[in-house]
Structure 1
Amino acid sequence: MTKKCQIAPMTKRIALFASHGVQALDITGPSSVFTSANRIVTGTAPYSVELVSPSGGLLETLSGVSLDSASIGDTPPEAIDTILVMGHDTRGIEALVAEDRAQKWVTQAVGGARRWGSVCLGAFVLASWGLLVNRTAATHWAAAEDMAKRFPDTSIDPESIFVVDDELWTSAGVTAGIDMSLAMVEADLGTEVATRIARHLVVYLRRPGSQSQFSGVLKAQFANASPYRDLIEWAEKNLNDDLSVGALAMRVGQSTRTFQRHFTAQIGRTPAAFVEDLRLERARAYLASDLALHAVAREIGYPNTNRLNVAFQRRFGVSPSVWRTMHG
């Protein structure tokens, strides 16, 4: 039996707004977070989650699964506590942006909501309707540059997995919507509830919004066609070696200044930041084992556990010891 937390908040109405061509996980991820809170908290359910669309009925998602939705005509916008616009494919975004009724309804909901925003490419819809002027927002990394060009009055954060700008909450691609929803639940119901939901869903708790959308491994894979491919593969296998910028530059036969500039242009991260990505990615793998912290630090190239603690806390928002307790 699941032990429930002794909290009895008023039910908050969560509207997940979408149309045809929506990314299914953009919906099911946040929905799973909010409905999990209902199973954990005693008393009145903290959330009522609804999928809302311009016309109601079944929505065709990108995954091939159809999801039933309520019509905006049957959902009073003034009753909504939190509204999130979901990500869609290009055709879905264009069709949704052209929906005058949808724009009017979402704008009314945003005007009265305590909290509003988007998941993934839903930010394109909000920006197209003029709702992100002079705001800072996140979106999927692959669309960040295009969105920044199309909407110069919006500050696009291409790195963060989610961004909070007062009552505006926007997340990066797909699974980042889960991280943002966990942060919302923590703000509403506290850390204990958010922790238990994260453990139940087997996800990282409170992955900081400022954390990069790319992991070190993904960056390395992304760089397979770059002239630094061999260097990256060597660095991954020799994390406890000298991976200073000067040493890496010498290894590829470039001056430190030239290497710093070219590597950053190719990979999208400075050499030092990239090396830290690789080391901390490996640290998480070691922490899932029973390897002592001082041994983890030594294996990934940190001189002591204090250096590991500082870097890990800065990146993931928790200490290595806490992370091991939660996920080991």
Structure 2
Amino acid sequence: MFVNWAHYLVPKISFFLSLVFNPVFVYLIHSSKHVLFGNYRYLSYFFAIFNLCASAADLLIPVAVFYYRYTFVTLVVDAMRSEQGEASIAFRCSFISGTYGILNIHFIFRYLSLKSNNIIKNYFMPYGLLLSVIYVLFHMSIWAMIDYFCLHSAPEMRDYIRIPFRKLHNESIDNINFVAGLFSEASPDIVQRSWAGIVLLTMIASYSMILYFVLGYKIITGLHIESVTMSQQTAQMQKQLFKALTIQTIIPICVSFMPCSFSFYGAAFNIGFMNWVYWVSAVAVSMFPFLDPLAIILLLPALRRRSPRASTSPRLRLEKYNDLGCDVMIKYLQIKF
């Protein structure tokens, strides 16, 4: 099923960019000479692997979002209806929750590095890394189960959207795999499980957002207190690290939390968003896997100066030598990341 050219091309371009930036990010972290990233190095490898898996899932299971009155529908674009179709959609959507889990770990790691660095040094490898992987998989599993058990399709849903779906896409909804929420003008069972589904999914996203702001505030407070005893170079380095984390927080809010919220509650309250809002939501989610490593590369001078562009830029080559002292300081601090 063809939605539009943007919906067709953007996930493929995102996959290609993810295939470029994540290996580059891993290479820059792994081959760093002046900067000792410590245990964050291994966490970065896990983040990159997750991003590549998310991009592959988006390429292999391309999804679109359709809206009509009190229902939103997340459907597979390039596949015929099958018994495993809804499970594959739930698996694909679970990577949305995985991005929340990844960022949760990032904040927790940064907070512990600032407040209890001995825990990171002594216990992160292998226990912390293993717990991080389990935590992200748990996040994904919960989201997938909610999708599968609360938002699975039903004949009543197909009847509800049959005519408008055919008018918009010239396709029969009977041939499409989808998960959906129908919040009114339906049987009580469907309405109840639809509301239960989006409330549970919203709780997962909301607790993550609260965690970002709470730990972010604690990190800012900790940096302010400790900056009294920090050198100017160290304080500047810590500000750069927190700036990178801030951008990493904004990215999933823009490409995951907001699109999902528009999809869920636009249909739940029949707000009447145009359908382009919904297909933009599906496209935006596919952009996180390459924006995440790109943000770190661009915002951390220790990585930016070693990027391919830096080797051809006189200004950046000069910056590399001027900031060498900062690199040495990071190594000394065991990169409190």
TM-score of the pair, normalised by structure 2: 0.24
Structure number with the higher helix fraction is 2
Structure with the bigger percentage of strand: 1
Identify which of structures 1 and 2 has the higher relative contact order when contacts are C-alpha pairs closer than 8 Å and 6+ apart.
2
